[in-house]
Amino acid sequence: DGGITQSPKYLFRKEGQNVTLSCEQNLNHDAMYWYRQDPGQGLRLIYYSQIVNDFQKGDIAEGYSVSREKKESFPLTVTSAQKNPTAFYLCASRTLNTGELFFGEGSRLTVL
């Protein structure tokens, strides 16, 4: 079955540690996205990539980093520079000529 897989679903981290969230898709989509969701707020765009080896900052990129070495994969690293990392993180993908986003099931990060 085609889809987007995010892992881990739940993650706990101590302050000062970097953590990497995985996102893999087998939909053959060109574009991939990372969003952050906080209670009472809409999804906010962190980073996006429209082609392998290229990515752009979204609205809240500070404290995050990404890579796009393969079409299928778009991992997100939450660095210790991110001031408020506890949130629900969503990965999405789509083909470049359609508007519909396909989302993964999300990763919930809690900083202790």
Binding site for another protein (CB under 8 A): 4, 6, 31, 35, 40-45, 48, 90, 92, 94, 96, 99-106, 108
Give the shortest CB-112-to-another protein separation in angstroms: 20
Composition of the chain by helix, strand, coil, percent to 5:
0, 50, 50
Displacement of CA 53 from its chain's centroid (Å): 16
Give the shortest CB-30-to-another protein separation in angstroms: 11
Q: What is the largest CA-CA distance in the chain?
A: 41
Distance, CA of 41 to CA of 25 (rounded, Å): 26
Give the shortest CB-105-to-another protein separation in angstroms: 5
Nearer to another protein, 1 or 100 (CB): 100
